[in-house]
Amino acid sequence: MSRTARRAAARRRMHLLAGATVLGVLLILGILAVQLMGGPKDPSSDPAGFGGTDTDTVVITSTDPSPSTDSETDTSTDSSSASQTDTDTESDDPSTNTYTDTDTNSDSSDHSDYNTDDPTPGINDDGSFDFTAWNMILVNPDNPIPDDYPLKLSWVSLNGKDRQVNSLCAQAFRDMVNAAKEDGVILLLRSTYRGIELQTEGFNNKVQEYINQGYSKEKATEIAATVVAVPGTSEHHTGLAADITTPSFDRLNKDFDKTEAYQWLITHCAEYGFILRYPEDKTEITKIIYEPWHYRYVGKEAAQIIMSEGICYEEFVEKYGKQ
């Protein structure tokens, strides 16, 4: 082989080696990109937004300034500035309704008040309401969940959403969602049970957010409490509440009340023991903005009274707790 031919062959080998090196680098970069993108985000890794779920936005009644950059901060009873978009990545395709019951508290089954056989929970023998019963407990900014509240959770899988709810009202959730489906309405359970630990992490993150904006820790904590429910005061801790949407309007926004799903819920939720927890005209009483997506189990008897009289749960407790 001549010197010229040997040089040409050497150049070809160098070009091939360079090409292979470039391909190898591109392959490695591609693998790293896939790993960084990953799959659906675990809601527990997004505590500031609780996986895109409702945070029980509290009405601000003071005149103290709040950061204008925070779209979730409410300075009035108008919830339009507090609308949120649910970022849940689970499939919305309707599926066969199946479920698995899971006891998340081994001590709860020994609680004497946890009567799964009671056909009318929360009602005394004389017909009065027992507001210490598991389904009648009042949880709001002024009434945190009791430390000894018995909690046993069940997984429910409804219309493609796997959620944990209080075991004692799990069947009520199933019955309501299935009944809506028979009427051609798909209900999606977005946020149901939320533990205090996750609520605490989200609340602390919100406090830090305001500290980073220049507020003192005391002021940041005060403002954060108007945006994210203080740990222990959210109804989601009981497993009795759920944020409900529908595939055509799958976000937590006050305009949910314009959907067919909302109309079905308002008409039928009491038949299954649920109430609209935060009505539009009751924000001064509930201290929570209007949330047409938030429903809470109280039992059929109480639910029928609340929905027919157009009162909120605080008013129900005040009226019927004194009888």
Alpha-carbon distances, residue 47 vs 58, 129, 166, 221 (angstroms): 18, 36, 21, 16
| Closest by CA position to 135, among listed 316, 273, 287 | 273
| Closest by CA position to 97, among listed 179, 184, 159, 155 | 159
The C-alpha atoms of residue 32 and residue 65 are separated, in whole angstroms, by 44
Q: Which helix (H) or strand (E) holds 242?
A: strand 241-245
| Closest by CA position to 279, among listed 289, 270, 271 | 289
DSSP conformational letter for 145: P
Residues 6+ apart with CB under 8 A from 78: 289
* 3-class secondary structure, 58: strand
The C-alpha atoms of residue 192 and residue 187 are separated, in whole angstroms, by 13
The one catalytic residue among 260, 291, 301, 314:
291
| 291 catalytically annotated | yes
Q: Which residues pair with 291 in a beta bridge?
A: 278
The C-alpha atoms of residue 95 and residue 79 are separated, in whole angstroms, by 33
The radius of gyration computed from the CA coordinates of the chain, to the nearest angstrom, equals 26
Active site residues: 291
